[in-house]
Amino acid sequence: MDFKLTEEHLMIQKAARDFAQAELLPGVIERDEKQIFPTEQIKKMGELGFLGMMVDPKYGGSGLDTISYVLAMEEISKVDASASVVMSVNNSLVCWGLQTFGSEEQKEKYLSRLATGEIIGAFCLSEPEAGSDATSQRTTAIDMGDHYIVNGTKNWITNGSTADFYIVIAQTDVDKKHRGINALILEKTMPGFEIGPKEQKLGIRGSDTHSLMFTDVKVPKENRIGEDGFGFKFAMKTLAGGRIGIASQALGIASGAYELALKYSKERKAFGTEICNHQAIAFKLADMAVNIEAARHLCMKAAWDKDNHNNYDLSGAMAKLFASQVAMDTAVEAVQIHGGNGYVKEYHVERFMRDAKITQIYEGTSEIQKIVISRSIISQ
């Protein structure tokens, strides 16, 4: 077993760290406060190859492995989780899904533009009544021969208004239940496609979350991903990889909050010494460090499974469940270590605390991860 990162991995980690410090840190507080999407920063991330990290270079991607992706996600998330969710959705849910299951025509038409950030993508599964219970899709895609007619509403869609490319999961044949679901490519210029108002969120406020409404949207048959009825399996397989991305986002939030707390505890004095010298603080730092290291190992194991073509449903769900809890716990303790300063924006940790919560909710709540994990271990 080799725990050492390669030279290439270290270079990617450094490139992501340098980018986050130079380009994302300035303005991150204002973007959070005013809910401003990081348009320029996302464009630069595309130019640097961070939006299509695992895409084959023949489609304009970086052709890297999942370990590289986890390393970059951690570094970006240490500074700006709003930027990293755009990166995660584009890489894991959109580019990976399209590259793995899309037709050659679909890849040629969309993938290189998505991988370079010329356009960004969105993944539309959740509905008002189908969040965790993803088989209960109410959005319909009625088969009209050479096209589908799509009607319905999707909720909480990341990149909702900034995307140009949308993968929409919809029910074609109700009698076939989840085997009658399809994954279709929609473009926002299609007549009948409407974007709802921007959600006012607790965290990841720089990211762009909307509901989407479809009224008789005509979608050509060639925009279906995979065979008829493959849509639910497509969503599950894609989300399994997406969970590795969100686990590494959670890892980044945790390590970002921890690094700030450690630094602060070495500078701030109380009762005649730096507060890190008090066991009350030192023990918190020790717990944070252990939990973050354990979360990192789980993320890396899941990435390694994916890169080695092992099943990663279990390891990805474990990584997401654990890392998101570590993100939440670490961010809360980082605020506590900062005392009153932790409660104000300029110290960043209150933002980490708000951002951490979503990692326990999207791409499957913690309870969903426990369903996936328990089913997997019971069936072994």
**What secondary structure letter does DSSP report for 379?**
T
Cross-strand partners of 284: none
Helix (H, G, I), strand (E, B) or coil at 3: coil
Among 247, 331, 372, 373, binds ligand CAA (CB under 6 A): 372
Cβ-based nearer residue to ligand CAA, 61 or 97: 97
Cβ-based nearer residue to ligand CAA, 313 or 333: 313
Query: Long-range contacts of range 309-315, CB-CB < 8 Å, 24 or more positions apart?
Result: 312/240, 312/241, 312/244, 313/240, 313/372, 313/376, 314/372, 314/373, 314/376, 314/377
Of 31-39, 61-69, 75-83, 367-375, the segment contacting ligand CAA by CB under 6 A is 367-375
- DSSP state string for 27-45: THHHHHHHT---HHHHHHH
Nearest to 334 by CA among 267, 254, 275: 254
- DSSP state string for 249-264: HHHHHHHHHHHHHHHH
Q: Of the listed 8, 105, 363, 367, which one is catalytic?
A: 363
Does 314 interact with ligand CAA (rule: CB under 6 A)?
no
Does 313 interact with ligand CAA (rule: CB under 6 A)?
yes
Does 72 interact with ligand CAA (rule: CB under 6 A)?
no
Report how many residues bind ligand CAA under the rule CB under 6 A. Answer: 23
Of residues 141 through 180, those in contact with ligand CAA by CB under 6 A are 158, 178-179
Among 22, 371, 374, 377, binds ligand CAA (CB under 6 A): 371
Least separation in angstroms between CB 227 and ligand CAA: 12
Does 236 interact with ligand CAA (rule: CB under 6 A)?
yes
230: which 2 tokens? 């493959």
Q: How many residues does the chain have?
A: 380
Beta strands in the chain (DSSP E): 121-124, 140-143, 147-158, 165-171, 181-187, 193-198, 209-220, 269-270, 273-274
Least separation in angstroms between CB 209 and ligand CAA: 8
- The shares of helix, strand and coil residues in the chain, as percent rounded to the nearest 5, are 55, 15, 25
Least separation in angstroms between CB 7 and ligand CAA: 32
CB 243 within 8 Å of CB 369 = yes
Among 66, 82, 126, 223, binds ligand CAA (CB under 6 A): 126
State how far the Cα of 237 lies from the Cα of 141, in Å rounded to an integer. 21
Query: Long-range contacts of range 5-11, CB-CB < 8 Å, 24 or more positions apart?
Result: 5/67, 5/71, 8/68, 9/67, 9/68, 9/71
Among 75, 208, 305, 363, binds ligand CAA (CB under 6 A): 363
The β-bridge relationship of strands 181-187 and 193-198 is unpaired
- Buried-state track 269-282, b at ≥16 Cβ within 10 A, e below 16: eeeeeebbeeeebe
Of 33-41, 143-151, 249-257, 359-367, the segment contacting ligand CAA by CB under 6 A is 359-367
State how far the Cα of 77 lies from the Cα of 16, in Å rounded to an integer. 10
Cβ-based nearer residue to ligand CAA, 150 or 260: 150
Of 19-27, 292-300, 327-335, 363-371, the segment contacting ligand CAA by CB under 6 A is 363-371
Among 24, 83, 95, 125, binds ligand CAA (CB under 6 A): 125
Among 240, 298, 303, 319, binds ligand CAA (CB under 6 A): 240
Give yes or no: 363 in active site.
yes
What are phi and psi for residue 171, nearest 5 degrees? -90, 125
State how far the Cα of 100 lies from the Cα of 21, in Å rounded to an integer. 33
Does 362 interact with ligand CAA (rule: CB under 6 A)?
yes
Cβ-based nearer residue to ligand CAA, 112 or 126: 126
Among 123, 148, 264, 322, binds ligand CAA (CB under 6 A): 123
Does 237 interact with ligand CAA (rule: CB under 6 A)?
yes
Cβ-based nearer residue to ligand CAA, 13 or 158: 158
Does 225 interact with ligand CAA (rule: CB under 6 A)?
no
Interface residues with ligand CAA (CB under 6 A)? Answer: 89, 123, 125-126, 132, 134-135, 158, 178-179, 232-233, 236-237, 239-240, 313, 362-364, 368, 371-372
Residues recognised as catalytic: 363
